[in-house]
């Protein structure tokens, strides 16, 4: 068993994380990237998923994209120790492995419900409540065999769902019993209702910016000068012409975001080949604006925030 610490400074000479089993991400407060990829399967990365470790226990999972089921198992995490699963939005690369992961938890005896949060819906996307209903409803859900998760039968593992208004212009604090303090912040991701999350332990913050465009003013204002120890931003497009900016921030905008919140460390995840191919240019564009350290995540990259 070993941990592959594979974050590569400036993203040059990036190597594969490999899929080897890992030990818990070390430290009092640490973040492991389970999935460093996006929606395309062309780079052998799992889609989006991040795990918050507190004192060697996996406590919070942010997003459950395709491949996160496997990376979760490889990480050595167990579902029973989780306090919450936080869903940023309902694109497949952020939620596709949720039923599979929950199925694995249905074998475990849980003492208390597992909190799950996600955005409200609109004409194009379901909100969390509708997503859970169409997935797990005992009569009509596609995975109705897992309906005990939402059936109010406390002898089975239960979900405690909290749908968050993705169009509010304010931060929503999420009450959890554990040490991690969670906030959800609405972001703009085109027509997709979407949230960013912050996780704070002992006053030290990690920001999971999620998929967002530069029109995310609520997010920018909420985190101005927040000085997070870690900012994970999504590197889906390069600065090259012709890449769509309505859904994602380009590298300059990521640099602006990191600078405005005074991030101490910037990690690029949700890496897509089209952006990685231009990584030298992208990193230069970020460095023109943001003077802190920048790394490109791999699956199982581990960032210890508090030792």
Give the residue carrying structure tokens 């797990």: 136
* Least gap, CB of 39 to Zn ion (angstroms): 5
**Nearest to Zn ion of 27, 190 (CB atom):** 190
* Least gap, CB of 56 to Zn ion (angstroms): 29
* Least gap, CB of 210 to Zn ion (angstroms): 8
Footprint on residues 186-225 left by Zn ion (CB under 5 A):
211
Q: How many residues bind Zn ion (CB under 5 A)?
A: 2
Q: By CB under 5 A, which span of 14-22, 70-78, 87-95, 284-292 interacts with Zn ion?
A: 87-95
The residues, ordered by sequence, that sit 6+ positions from 155 with a Cβ below 8 Å of its Cβ are: none
Footprint on residues 90-109 left by Zn ion (CB under 5 A):
93
**Nearest to Zn ion of 154, 244 (CB atom):** 244
Per DSSP, the residues of 48-117 read: SEEEEEETTEEEEEE---TTHHHHHHHHT--GGG-SEEE----SHHHHTTHHHHHHHHTTS--SSPEEEE
CA–CA dist 234, 243 (Å, integer) = 14
* Least gap, CB of 268 to Zn ion (angstroms): 13
**Nearest to Zn ion of 59, 270 (CB atom):** 270
The residues, ordered by sequence, that sit 6+ positions from 13 with a Cβ below 8 Å of its Cβ are: none
**Nearest to Zn ion of 83, 97 (CB atom):** 97
**Nearest to Zn ion of 32, 211 (CB atom):** 211
State how far the alpha carbon of 52 is from the alpha carbons of 151, 286, 292, in Å.
Answer: 28, 26, 22
Which of 42, 35, 41 is closest to 17 using CA atoms?
35
Q: In the stretch 278-307, what mask flags binding to Zn ion with x, by CB under 5 A?
A: ------------------------------
Residues near Zn ion, by CB under 5 A = 93, 211
């Amino acid at each position: 068993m070993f941990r592959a610490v594979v974050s590569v400074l400036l993203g040059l000479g990036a190597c594969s994380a490999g899929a080897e089993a890992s030990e818990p991400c070390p430290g009092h407060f640490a973040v492991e990237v389970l999935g460093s990829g996006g929606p395309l399967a062309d780079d052998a990365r799992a889609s989006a998923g991040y795990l918050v470790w507190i004192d060697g226990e996996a406590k919070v999972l942010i997003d459950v994209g395709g491949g996160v089921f496997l990376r979760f198992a490889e990480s050595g995490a167990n579902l029973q120790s989780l306090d919450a699963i936080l869903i940023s939005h309902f694109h497949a690369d952020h939620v596709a492995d949720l039923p599979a992961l929950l199925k694995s938890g249905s074998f475990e005896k849980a003492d208390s419900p597992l909190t799950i949060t996600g955005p409200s819906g609109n004409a194009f996307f379901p909100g969390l409540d509708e997503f859970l209903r169409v997935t797990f409803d005992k009569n009509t859900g596609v995975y109705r065999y897992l309906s005990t998760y939402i059936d109010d039968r406390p002898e089975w593992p239960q979900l405690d769902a909290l749908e968050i208004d993705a169009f509010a212009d304010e931060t929503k604090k999420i009450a959890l019993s554990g040490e991690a303090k969670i906030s959800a912040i609405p972001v703009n991701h085109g027509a997709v209702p979407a949230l960013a999350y912050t996780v704070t332990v002992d006053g030290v913050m990690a920001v999971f910016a999620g998929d967002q465009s530069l029109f995310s003013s609520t997010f920018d204002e909420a985190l101005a000068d927040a000085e997070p120890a870690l900012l994970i931003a999504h590197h889906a497009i390069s600065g090259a012409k012709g890449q769509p900016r309505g859904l994602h921030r380009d590298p300059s905008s990521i640099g602006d975001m990191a600078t405005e919140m005074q991030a101490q460390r910037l990690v690029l995840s949700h890496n897509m080949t089209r952006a990685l191919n231009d990584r030298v240019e992208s990193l230069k564009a970020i460095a023109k604006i943001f003077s802190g350290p920048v790394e490109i995540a791999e699956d199982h990259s581990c960032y210890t925030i508090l030792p």
